[in-house]
Chain A
Amino acid sequence: GIQVEQSPPDLILQEGANSTLRCNFSDSVNNLQWFHQNPWGQLINLFYIPSGTKQNGRLSATTVATERYSLLYISSSQTTDSGVYFCAVLTQGGSEKLVFGKGTKLTVNP
């Protein structure tokens, strides 16, 4: 099956710093989403981005489907950005299940 790898696994930043999270996937995908898991466990949808670039406030994401990777950019990080960020993909022509990476744990210190 498709493999999804996220890097780095852990990231510690000072408030105000910028960061880039990466997601590599091993096969063509129909759907790619970035999620932020809050301390209570809920997965908050950040971007639905099978290709191209999107921006939402301090967050932006780019997916280069032909090269099988996606990037999540966080600018001017805040302590509330702390948590685990997951990339999840839906394979083409296959079962409709999201395959998740192991996540990047982000800690933003004040």
Chain B
Amino acid sequence: KAGVTQTPRYLIKTRGQQVTLSCSPISGHRSVSWYQQTPGQGLQFLFEYFSETQRNKGNFPGRFSGRQFSNSRSEMNVSTLELGDSALYLCASSFGPNYGYTFGSGTRLTVV
């Protein structure tokens, strides 16, 4: 079956712009979560959605937002980009907490 699909794979943006990243989960998975990976901070939780509702949010500024659609696809948006937002953004999907999480290939965002 198809895995978790993230688009785009690579992105270069200018400071101050905004960006939208997309994640399509494995068919049947209703939980979608997002993580940011940087060399300094490691892997950090951004937010988690289940059935179009944000259930949990990590410790990130309000410039980071997301949503989930009725087909479980999710998008995350970062407004007013800063140099420090350069990172690998990973999306994961799951049936729920008692099941494993499967990650996509990630979107590598570079802010210049």
Contact = CB atoms under 8 A, between A and B. Distances in A.
A59 to B, nearest CB: 15
A95 B47 CA distance: 10
Contacts of B92: 43, 98
Contact of B55 (A41, A43, A45, A96): A96
A33 B101 CA distance: 8
Contacts of B102: 45
Given A98-B33, A98-B45, A102-B42, A41 B56 contact: no
Contacts of B101: 33, 45, 88, 98
Contacts of A48: 99-100
A41 B10 CA distance: 12
A46 to B, nearest CB: 10
The binding surface of chain B is classed by DSSP as strand
B63 to A, nearest CB: 19
B104 A97 contact: no
Contact of A96 (B33, B43, B108): B33
B97 A43 contact: no
B97 A30 contact: yes
Contacts of B99: 31, 48
Given A96-B31, A96-B48, A99-B45, A31 B103 contact: no
A35 interface: yes
Contact of B97 (A42, A45, A90): A90
B105 A97 contact: no
Interface in B1-48: 31, 33, 35, 37, 42-43, 45, 48
A86 B33 CA distance: 17
Given A31-B97, A97-B56, 10 more contacts: A30-B97, A30-B98, A31-B99, A31-B100, A40-B105, A42-B104, A43-B92, A88-B43, A95-B48, A98-B45
Interface of A: 30-31, 33, 35, 40-45, 48, 86, 88, 90, 95-100, 102-103
17 contacts: A30-B97, A31-B98, A33-B101, A40-B105, A41-B37, A41-B88, A43-B103, A48-B99, A48-B100, A88-B101, A90-B97, A95-B56, A96-B48, A96-B50, A96-B55, A97-B56, A98-B33
